[in-house]
Structure 1
Amino acid sequence: MATIKDVARVAKVSVGTVSRVLNGSSKISPESYKAVHDAARQLGYRRNAVAQALVSKTSKMFGVLVSDVGVPFFGEMVKGIEEVARQKGLHLLICNGYHDATEEKNMIEYLLSHRCQSLVVHSKGLSDEELIQYSREIPGMIVINRYIDAIKERCVFLNNHQGMHIAVSRLLDSHNGVAYIGSSEDIQDATDRYLGYQKALEDRSIEFNEQWVVHCEPVAEAGYKAIKQLAEQGELPSSIVTYNDALASGVLDYLHGEGIKIPEQVSVVGFDDIELARYLYPKLTTVRYPIREMAEFAANLSIQLLEDATPSVSDEELEFVPKLIERNSAVI
């Protein structure tokens, strides 16, 4: 890893000049400023902002990386972290990574440059190796909604496979088949939920029907188009499970428009249990993803790590358990 001396050597300036540039001094020539920043980018140099904050005792920032804070799921996550941060007198700095590796890395670097001691990171773009390296550099970093064995004590996650398996198994208690509308995103959540769907069918010795599966962008409009596609292919099965509640809302909208009774003719089950789920018509049966509780736990753990490098946390506390929330959109 590059050091401040390496930056000074490449920029052909003194270490003191590099330090003044990186600390925002106004008494620096434009030429030196450019030379230092060009050298830092070339070498991939980053100041250890966490260490600086710990020494100065001035940091009151708590960093959060989400995919898109405009998505209700991540809004709930941020609320959970904000509650803990407020109690500790910390200010939240929130960045969007959009499940893109480059953007996620840039945003983590940005959070560190603003002296965030604690970080809760929701990353689907960065590799395991990159997140492991960051965890070594950042004492207060927690990874949420992802499991990496090498840093399992830093991971707060949900068993997505189990959650979908529960939903499909319960539907199969009352239905002969279940259609699946999944996410086309290349992330572990999407894979785990789809595998949970397939395993539930396998456990009941029900043959997998590829025509009853559609993968699409996990938004309401795509859910509407997906169920329309299934309907146009032939007779709909009597139950449908979706990757998330947004897709389920699109499914409900289409079924209402076609005059199909829910749940008398078709049962619909979502996943996540966002706030909107209880206000849809009919109220949505869904798998509860306790993201707010997970976020609160992750935030507290992040703060504990700064006070104690090895807090006492069990594997059971880090893995949250999904639960089927029964409402009015499904016969189960």
Structure 2
Amino acid sequence: MATMKDIARIAKVSTSTVSHVINGTRFVSDEIREKVMSVVQELNYRPSALARSFKLQQTKTIGMLVTASNNPFFAEVVAAVEHYCAQNDYNLILCNTDGDCMRLEKSLQTLLQKQVDGLLLMCTETHLQEHATVHLTVPTVIMDWWPTELNADRIFEDSELGGYLATKCLIQHGHRKIGIITGNLQKPLALNRLNGYKKALLEAQIPLNKHWIVESQFDFQGGVVGMDKLLQQNELPTAVFACSDTIALGIYQTAWRYNLRIPQDISVIGYDDINLSQYLAPPLATIHQPKVELGKRAVEMLLERIKSPERKNKTVILQPNLIVRPSVAPPIK
């Protein structure tokens, strides 16, 4: 494999001149530059990324740790992160722990051993709290939530507002019997969405029916189990707020099993606006989380922190918005 010394010898210049030409770190005359680059092409020279990282004390690599894998929402966020990493000439190493405590510890250690320049952490599992105590010495951005206190920037979405907007949409369509299927209420975002639901009911002076509040999980099966529970009640709601689009998909399947039509028999609104939601039959009304902006801003914040690691921690709150689709309609009287 060719080296800078080989190029310098053939081009009859110093090794430092070759380095300046390749890295663009100092002015070199056009004549010398053309001479050096001609030898570079002739020898098919490729700079060593490892050597460059040692010299610059940067690997141009970002690590991202995600603790859940069964929700398309995370895949869409990761895709946005990858896109903006590439735009900034950074590589991304992704670790998915799938809620496993041992994999969380191992993945964090692996990313640190890889000498990543910074970390993006996206945690949804409350049971990982006692296992998330690894001391982090690199610039870090928390995307939504992390179970322990860290010296890090944070970016998250106003999930209480999202819950409020979803419930208010159902109210504006004439519904007063509104159920909700949440994720695990130990998770802050699940509790926030429930609080938004309660706020909208209170504002509309609609009594809270505790039997229509069903705690489940943020996945497809969570929607199936949650809707089964809701349909066992003596009095049924005319609309359901699913606290994730994955829950809504489970509701669709359960409604089909019970021969319930959406929205004629029951209206459904989801949360996240995953790509699949617009292709359901009927297309799912939902709360749009700005996933692309979340990925973009997270990468930007991390790169800022890499450049200025001593600056004060920053928090960014993104705003959700309502996407109205045919899964919501006025109740049949």
Shorter-chain TM-score: what band?
0.7 to 0.9
Quote the Cα distance in structure 2 between the aligned partners of 1:132 and 1:114: 15
Relative distance call for 1:320 and 1:165 in structure 2 (3 A) is same
Quote the Cα distance in structure 2 between the aligned partners of 1:154 and 1:314: 5
> 2:276 aligns to what?
276
Secondary structure at 1:199's aligned position in 2? helix
Structure 2 residues not aligned, in runs of 5+: 1-51
Asked if 2 retains the 8 angstrom alpha-carbon contact of 1:147 and 1:155, the reply is no
Quote the Cα distance in structure 1 between the aligned partners of 2:265 and 2:69: 36
Give yes or no for the alignment of 1:64 onto 2:73. no
Asked if 1 retains the 8 angstrom alpha-carbon contact of 2:68 and 2:123, the reply is no
> 2:17 aligns to what?
none
Asked if 2 retains the 8 angstrom alpha-carbon contact of 1:304 and 1:311, the reply is no
> 1:182 aligns to what?
182
Asked if 2 retains the 8 angstrom alpha-carbon contact of 1:147 and 1:157, the reply is no
Matches within 5 A, 1:245-324: 245-309=245-309, 318-324=316-322
Secondary structure at 2:117's aligned position in 1? strand
Relative distance call for 1:142 and 1:282 in structure 2 (3 A) is same
Secondary structure at 1:116's aligned position in 2? coil
State the AA in 1 paired with 2:195.
L
> 1:240 aligns to what?
240
Relative distance call for 1:123 and 1:54 in structure 2 (3 A) is farther
Relative distance call for 1:186 and 1:225 in structure 2 (3 A) is same
Relative distance call for 1:257 and 1:69 in structure 2 (3 A) is closer
State the AA in 2 paired with 1:225.
V
Deviates more, 1:200-209 or 1:283-292: 200-209
Percent identity between matched residues is 25
Q: Under a length normalisation based on structure 1, what TM-score does the superposition of the two structures give?
A: 0.74
Matches within 5 A, 1:56-95: 56-57=56-57, 59-95=59-95
Superposed displacement of residue 101, structure 1: 5.4
Quote the Cα distance in structure 2 between the aligned partners of 1:195 and 1:221: 23
Superposed displacement of residue 152, structure 1: 8.9
Quote the Cα distance in structure 2 between the aligned partners of 1:210 and 1:55: 62
Q: Under a length normalisation based on structure 2, what TM-score does the superposition of the two structures give?
A: 0.74
Quote the Cα distance in structure 1 between the aligned partners of 2:113 and 2:185: 30
> 2:38 aligns to what?
none
Give yes or no for the alignment of 1:144 onto 2:162. no
Secondary structure at 1:232's aligned position in 2? coil
Relative distance call for 1:231 and 1:122 in structure 2 (3 A) is same
Secondary structure at 1:233's aligned position in 2? coil
Quote the Cα distance in structure 1 between the aligned partners of 2:109 and 2:64: 12
> 1:154 aligns to what?
153
Quote the Cα distance in structure 2 between the aligned partners of 1:100 and 1:162: 31
Quote the Cα distance in structure 1 between the aligned partners of 2:247 and 2:118: 33
Quote the Cα distance in structure 1 between the aligned partners of 2:158 and 2:200: 15
Relative distance call for 1:255 and 1:189 in structure 2 (3 A) is same
